[in-house]
Structure 1
Amino acid sequence: MSSNPLNAISVQRRAVTVSSAAIPRWPAQSADGLTQPALQFMSLEGDESLGKLFEYELLLRTPDDYTVPLAVSANLDLKALLGKEMTVAIDLEPSADPEAAQREITGLVAAAQYLRREGRYNVYRVVLKPWLWLATLTTDYKIFQNKTVIEIIDEVLKDYPYPVEKRVDVSRYALDGESPTNEPRAFQVQYGETDYHFIQRLMEEWGIYWFFEHADGKHRLVLCDHIGAHRQSPNSAYRTLAFQPQNGKTDTEYISAFSTAEVLCTGHYVTSDFDFTRSRADMRAINQQPRDTSWNLLERYDWPGDYTDSSHGELLARTRMEELRATGTRAQGKGNVRGLACGQTFVLTHYDYTAANCEYLVIGTELHLSGTPDESGSGYEYTCSNKFDVQPTSEVFRLPRETSKPIVSGPQSAVVVGPEGKELWTDEFGRVKVRFAWDRYGRNVETDSCWVRVSQAWAGQGFGGIYIPRIGQEVIVDFWNGDPDRPLITGSLYNTVTRPPYALPGNATQSGFMSRSMEGGLQNYNSIRFEDKAGAEEFTVQAERDMNRLTKLNESHVVGADYTIGVAAAHSMNVGAASSTVVGGKYSVRVKDVASYSVGLGQFVSIGGLEETAVGGASTLTVGGARTVTVGGASTHAVGGAYSLSAGGVLSIVCGKSSLTMNKDGEIKLIGKSIRIQGDTRVVVQGTPLDLNPGDMECGSAVTVPVPVVVLDALDVPIIPPPPSEEPLPTVDPLPTVDPLPTEEPLPSEEPLPSEEPPPSEEPPPSEEPPPSEEPPPSEEPLPSEEPLPSEEPLPSEEPPPSEEPPPSEEPPPSEEPPPSEEPPPSEEPPPPTETPPVTGTDA
């Protein structure tokens, strides 16, 4: 506002009155029963500008009425005036429209003060402010989501019961052929601001400004963003005003002083921002409106531009450019023009600077009114001085951005929220919604905030870490550049509701990570835990259900001590190439059910020491090709039941220079240095003729003797004791050297082994089973001629196999008996030849 010293212009016989429902009324001095207000106008001064709260200071006096004692008029109820509307009515130049004959200035009484006594009057001071000033008395923390700027302003102002008119040009929001719309803001926060400062900074940012129109005892807030929202004075006398230097006249209104100015300003504005949903997009917005001056393309660059949508960026860039350009042409003036009000337009004429004779918008006024009754008491004299600032209507008016946006000074705490009944609520970017500790309007639901991004330890193209906060968790929220409209979750916190997974401080040496199964309990989780207590260090991994591990190349495991694997169900291992297992000590495998072992090619087993195989039931070995068994020492076969040996081709037994050869055609060849056949009961030789030393058998000369079947009694056959040198028992017996049980068996606590079976003394030894001697003796068998030949005998499979003997529970099978080392020594058994004659006789 200009402060040039100009003389005030005196205007006579123009009434100024004050009215308010809060001003008490007193009886008038006349006898007609009329009343008069207890306060009357003395003077007014104040200023009013576009986009600013006006303030007028009134001096009021009590009437000159002897019927009202000064002690009474000095004690008006000041509190009764506060917050009430008061109107000052100023008479204007005569007009054809009776409603345009006065100018009103209405406001709320923001302050009332008793000043002094002056003669027969008591003087009071009253300050008038607009009802919007009430919005400066409140502060709030409130979130607005998916609302346009106009909708946010409406929501804030709905708490104030005063008139608002919106003269907003929606077409200025139509960009690139889009439909006219004021696009919504996803998230806008009133952060500790008064209602006034909150909507003021929004309007400054988006190019909206406002002023008040005074009429009918009210003052109406007008929101606008274009020059077409402004009107001329209702009184035609103030629509065109002439410039006239002060000439001493007192009965007309005119502009007595005027000056115009041009200011150099930039004409190029650039801004930009970042949108993570289009992280590689160029978000720059550029607007150029250079004036016809030099240095008109100096660039102003701002960041961040407070937008994530390109159309918003274009609109904001244009608004900023209009703001910078608006101060290029301004003018100031002064005169006794009582009816010239802020927000009106008029045309200036008769000014010496020809280019200044144009239409102007009044962007600010400073009004001074003072007066006293004339000496006759029939009139009222007052002086009027009105200073004003104007801008040509050819330029767009924009408020300068003087209301700063709050800056959040540090991180805050919030709780993750979501729909009722959900434990986790997120979107495609892993964002969540929160309720801030200061949000008193939140309901702990998904509408309490916008989607908030969550900081991760590592984030890349399809790789990195991901931890999504769940509903009810307390999180740490920071803000981009301190902007309350751009929250960011940077971490999580424990509290009395969400406690650490490990009880503290007892488990202070434990660290790690524990998840929680959805809709699960305290025992349902996946976890990785580190125990760092000295001497009890431990690394623990738990998979609540399935665990899958993929190693695309090599994997190594080194275990310094024991290694245990427990599998409750099936266990499968698939090795695509070679597999090697090296055991430095004992190795034990126990299969409770059937075990299957398949080798696609050859198998090579090398055992550096002893080997023992115990089979609880039947045992079958099938070899598809040749099989060779080489025993470097003694070999013993002990069969508790029948024993059958079948060969599809030649069967040979070779012992030094002795041999027994049988072929599938029924030929048997027994070769030895000496051959002895001994039968304790009898010897049967069947077959004719009997060849002795036949030449065709490479046995020398042949003699053929027909021999009938002769049965020799045992008494006729001399028993020749075997020579000591040919006794095989001392050399065949492997018992003293083969027994591995005392040193090679696993501990009884690991698994039941044959050593844990009933001792040999408790189970019938092989000698107690039905011995071959209990079978019908040869004398009871059919005659040799009736017996089947060896080739016609039933195969061993037709004889009762060992599996048909009593089950292990009743009598352990021979395979579960102790090894030969635990059988009775050879001296306690009959000589082997006497133990098996029936078997060999059958095989023969």
Structure 2
Amino acid sequence: MTVRPKLELESGESTLQVRRVSVTERISDIFTVDVLARSSDVDLDIAAIVGKGAAMGAEAELGTIAWSGVCNHMEQIKPANESTGRSSYLLRIVPSMWLLTQRRGHRIFQHLSTPDIVKQILGEYSIEPKLVISETHPKHEYRVQYGETDFDFVARLLEEAGITFTFDAQVSGGSAESLLTLCDTPQHAASVGPIDYFDTPNDGRITGFFITDVRLAHGVRPGTATYRDFDFRKPRLALRDSSEFPLAEGEKVEDPYEHYVYAPGISLIEVDGADDLQAVADDKSIARHRQEENKRRAEIRAEALRYGKRKVNYRTNHPELTAAAIFSIDNHPRSQLAADKTLMVIESTMHITELEWTVLGTAVFAEVPYRPEIRTPKPRVAGVQTAIVVGPPGQEIYTDEYGRVRVRFHWDRKGAFDDNATCWLRVSQAWAGTGFGSMLVPRVGHEVIVDFFDGDPDQPLVVGRLFNETTRVPRKLPDHKTQSIWRSASSPQTDGYFNEIMLEDNAGKELYFVQAQRDLLTLTRHDHTERTAEDRTAVVGEARVAAVGWSDSLQVG
């Protein structure tokens, strides 16, 4: 077989002659095309090629195939030698999606589904994906890209949602791009058809496509995935769901192998309505924990864990067996690999020279629901952070029915200083009981300490407060370092208007001071005893009224 490789570069460089090509593809990963080429130009302008559009194609009697993207790496591996007069170069072509690995940051996404978030990020790179989405993907109230590259964030969200991404190889050149496809049911794609199996394909009988070196492999995988969540609105409800993968009779031994994960917030999604709507808490959206979402995520996890339970490795000359391609094997003696058993390619490596192309691949059975392997770790916040409490313009105190607040993180470059900055954050109090405890609501503009449930950046909560240069301490320090103070501030804020309890602990000057900015009301439900060891002075600015229900006595001396 004669193969005619063709390299096209956006830079217009045309002196490179392709000698060898290696293409690696994998479901939910970036393909790489490594090209070994020669040129008569020993001073080839590498900088003009790297970062620009590039396409690598191959044509033969059996068909054509091409990959398009950008050249992200090029090097001269050998200068011109005396025998050939040509220099050797190595190029790597990757899809434009690879550029997502070059940007890392922090930002917040609210009220968007996973496909919507992914489309937004890809759009920033002028990438328009093809969506093959058959399932319903709910909107998330709050998702954070926390110190991740754009690629890792996108890959993680897609893995969590059970959505694969692949690149459709196509015949195109220059800056044209291999089409990015997002799909949640890749096993349902159309088949390229059965491929004839040959044990010894090099005996001269074969003129078309063949598949050989077929190896069926079985492995051990967990049989169950379980997620557990907690809903503060329904603290006594156990949000737990398991998904047991349907196991064949010979696989029942894997039933006890469970992946149990406590994942706060995993079942929290935005819904259209609820029977416990609240005016302020639900002012932006209605987000609730749902048992069915917990179950859906457990099912996705179970299907991802079963990835690779049964694999088929092979060698072929069929160029269309790229990642996510569906096919079957004809004439294989093993019944499990009969022509009616469809397979899906999960990874492949194609080697191309001027004489042949060879594809080494791995496939799984398409009858089994496929989910991408969960391999992108979610970042964890290593410690606490501080943030500023925010709210709508003109409001000094902004809270909901649960005493929650919204904040703006210092790392958030895109969020505004208003009530759209984050989701609601629960606020830790000194005491929280059933209708009793303490309640101190952080006010707009105040600096608070934020921690995260299990280090999850999607699950923030306020655990403390801090003074700073703008929100100063109530008494000058260190001048009044012996004073312990609990001081509030009238709202709307008016300078010098406050309620206060102050304890002065300076030896010999101890003082317990109470100030009511307007009215002071005390209620004693039984006896009230006051004892003054020495003098007592009462000053009434206007009227004094005393009402005694039974008797009044005064004893002097």
TM-score in terms of structure 1 length: 0.60
One-letter amino acid of the structure 2 residue matched with residue 403 of structure 1? T
Kept in 1: contact 2:198–2:210 (CA 8 A): yes
* Counterpart in the other structure of 1:91: 59
Kept in 1: contact 2:187–2:367 (CA 8 A): no
Tell me: CA distance 1:549–1:507, structure 2 relative to 1, closer, same or farther (3 Å).
same
* Counterpart in the other structure of 1:648: none
* Counterpart in the other structure of 1:577: 550
Tell me: CA distance 1:290–1:211, structure 2 relative to 1, closer, same or farther (3 Å).
same
Per the TM alignment, residue 570 of structure 1 is displaced from its structure 2 partner at its CA by 2.5
Verify: 1:227 aligned to 2:227, yes or no.
no
* Counterpart in the other structure of 1:108: 70
Tell me: CA distance 1:247–1:270, structure 2 relative to 1, closer, same or farther (3 Å).
closer
Kept in 1: contact 2:119–2:128 (CA 8 A): no
Per the TM alignment, residue 269 of structure 1 is displaced from its structure 2 partner at its CA by 2.5
Per the TM alignment, residue 228 of structure 1 is displaced from its structure 2 partner at its CA by 5.4
Per the TM alignment, residue 262 of structure 1 is displaced from its structure 2 partner at its CA by 2.6
* Counterpart in the other structure of 1:167: 132
* Counterpart in the other structure of 1:18: 7
* Counterpart in the other structure of 1:720: none
* Counterpart in the other structure of 1:154: 119
Q: 1:294 aligns with which of 252, 266, 270?
A: 252
Q: Mapping of 1:304-315 within 5 angstroms?
A: 304=263, 306-308=266-268, 309=289, 310-315=291-296
Question: What 5-or-longer segments of structure 2 have no aligned partner?
Answer: 269-288
One-letter amino acid of the structure 2 residue matched with residue 244 of structure 1? F
Per the TM alignment, residue 162 of structure 1 is displaced from its structure 2 partner at its CA by 2.5
Verify: 1:540 aligned to 2:494, yes or no.
no
Kept in 1: contact 2:168–2:178 (CA 8 A): yes
* Counterpart in the other structure of 2:373: 400
One-letter amino acid of the structure 1 residue matched with residue 359 of structure 2? N
Q: 1:370 aligns with which of 349, 353, 359?
A: 353
Q: Mapping of 1:392-541 within 5 angstroms?
A: 392-541=365-514
Per the TM alignment, residue 575 of structure 1 is displaced from its structure 2 partner at its CA by 2.5
> Take 1:166 and 1:462, find their aligned partners in 2: how far apart are those partners?
50
Cα displacement string for residues 330-385 of structure 1 (whole angstroms, at most 9, x for unaligned residues): 211112333322221112111121111221111110111123xxxxxxxxxx2322
Per the TM alignment, residue 313 of structure 1 is displaced from its structure 2 partner at its CA by 0.6
> Take 1:44 and 1:254, find their aligned partners in 2: how far apart are those partners?
21
One-letter amino acid of the structure 2 residue matched with residue 323 of structure 1? A
The secondary structure found in structure 1 opposite 2:253 is coil
* Counterpart in the other structure of 2:110: 145
> Take 2:53 and 2:325, find their aligned partners in 1: how far apart are those partners?
23
* Counterpart in the other structure of 2:307: 326
Q: 1:349 aligns with which of 318, 330, 337?
A: 330
The secondary structure found in structure 2 opposite 1:294 is helix
> Take 2:188 and 2:411, find their aligned partners in 1: how far apart are those partners?
39
Tell me: CA distance 1:23–1:112, structure 2 relative to 1, closer, same or farther (3 Å).
farther
Per the TM alignment, residue 92 of structure 1 is displaced from its structure 2 partner at its CA by 4.1
Identity of aligned residues (%): 30
One-letter amino acid of the structure 2 residue matched with residue 139 of structure 1? R
Per the TM alignment, residue 214 of structure 1 is displaced from its structure 2 partner at its CA by 2.2
Cα displacement string for residues 496-539 of structure 1 (whole angstroms, at most 9, x for unaligned residues): 11100101111111111100000232210000001111211111
> Take 2:484 and 2:423, find their aligned partners in 1: how far apart are those partners?
33
One-letter amino acid of the structure 1 residue matched with residue 130 of structure 2? E
Cα displacement string for residues 290-344 of structure 1 (whole angstroms, at most 9, x for unaligned residues): 3112324213321126223223212101111111233222211112333322221
Kept in 1: contact 2:5–2:56 (CA 8 A): yes
Verify: 1:359 aligned to 2:342, yes or no.
yes
> Take 2:436 and 2:529, find their aligned partners in 1: how far apart are those partners?
25
The secondary structure found in structure 2 opposite 1:42 is strand
> Take 1:409 and 1:14, find their aligned partners in 2: how far apart are those partners?
54
> Take 1:258 and 1:462, find their aligned partners in 2: how far apart are those partners?
68
Cα displacement string for residues 823-844 of structure 1 (whole angstroms, at most 9, x for unaligned residues): xxxxxxxxxxxxxxxxxxxxxx
* Counterpart in the other structure of 2:241: 285
* Counterpart in the other structure of 2:99: 134
* Counterpart in the other structure of 1:557: 530
The secondary structure found in structure 2 opposite 1:413 is strand
Q: 1:270 aligns with which of 226, 233, 241?
A: 226
Q: Over aligned residue pairs, what C-alpha RMSD do you find?
A: 1.6
Kept in 2: contact 1:168–1:229 (CA 8 A): no
Per the TM alignment, residue 445 of structure 1 is displaced from its structure 2 partner at its CA by 0.5
More helix by share: 1
The secondary structure found in structure 2 opposite 1:257 is strand
One-letter amino acid of the structure 1 residue matched with residue 88 of structure 2? V
Q: 1:338 aligns with which of 285, 297, 319?
A: 319
One-letter amino acid of the structure 2 residue matched with residue 79 of structure 1? A
Q: 1:61 aligns with which of 38, 63, 71?
A: 38
Kept in 1: contact 2:404–2:424 (CA 8 A): yes
Q: Mapping of 1:427-826 within 5 angstroms?
A: 427-584=400-557
One-letter amino acid of the structure 2 residue matched with residue 105 of structure 1? W
Kept in 2: contact 1:240–1:347 (CA 8 A): yes
Kept in 1: contact 2:164–2:186 (CA 8 A): no
Cα displacement string for residues 210-232 of structure 1 (whole angstroms, at most 9, x for unaligned residues): 10012242211100110356344
One-letter amino acid of the structure 1 residue matched with residue 209 of structure 2? E
Tell me: CA distance 1:340–1:520, structure 2 relative to 1, closer, same or farther (3 Å).
closer
> Take 1:294 and 1:164, find their aligned partners in 2: how far apart are those partners?
40
Pair member with larger Rg: 1
The secondary structure found in structure 2 opposite 1:481 is helix
* Counterpart in the other structure of 2:281: none
The secondary structure found in structure 1 opposite 2:301 is helix
Kept in 2: contact 1:367–1:385 (CA 8 A): yes
Per the TM alignment, residue 573 of structure 1 is displaced from its structure 2 partner at its CA by 2.3
Kept in 2: contact 1:48–1:342 (CA 8 A): yes
* Counterpart in the other structure of 1:698: none
Kept in 2: contact 1:263–1:329 (CA 8 A): yes
Kept in 2: contact 1:413–1:475 (CA 8 A): yes
> Take 1:102 and 1:386, find their aligned partners in 2: how far apart are those partners?
14
Per the TM alignment, residue 23 of structure 1 is displaced from its structure 2 partner at its CA by 3.4
More strand by share: 2
* Counterpart in the other structure of 2:262: 303
The secondary structure found in structure 2 opposite 1:270 is strand
In the alignment of these two chains, the number of paired residues is 521
Q: 1:193 aligns with which of 137, 148, 151?
A: 148
Does 1 or 2 have the higher relative contact order (CA < 8 Å, sep 6+)?
2
Kept in 2: contact 1:290–1:296 (CA 8 A): no
Cα displacement string for residues 682-740 of structure 1 (whole angstroms, at most 9, x for unaligned residues): xxxxxxxxxxxxxxxxxxxxxxxxxxxxxxxxxxxxxxxxxxxxxxxxxxxxxxxxxxx
One-letter amino acid of the structure 2 residue matched with residue 352 of structure 1? P
* Counterpart in the other structure of 1:241: 195
Q: Mapping of 1:175-190 within 5 angstroms?
A: 182-190=137-145
Per the TM alignment, residue 87 of structure 1 is displaced from its structure 2 partner at its CA by 1.6
Kept in 2: contact 1:524–1:544 (CA 8 A): yes
> Take 1:183 and 1:386, find their aligned partners in 2: how far apart are those partners?
39
Deviates more, 1:210-219 or 1:535-544: 210-219
Cα displacement string for residues 610-654 of structure 1 (whole angstroms, at most 9, x for unaligned residues): xxxxxxxxxxxxxxxxxxxxxxxxxxxxxxxxxxxxxxxxxxxxx
- Dislocated runs of 4+, deviation >6 Å: none
One-letter amino acid of the structure 1 residue matched with residue 103 of structure 2? T
Kept in 2: contact 1:290–1:297 (CA 8 A): no
Kept in 2: contact 1:266–1:290 (CA 8 A): no
Per the TM alignment, residue 461 of structure 1 is displaced from its structure 2 partner at its CA by 0.8
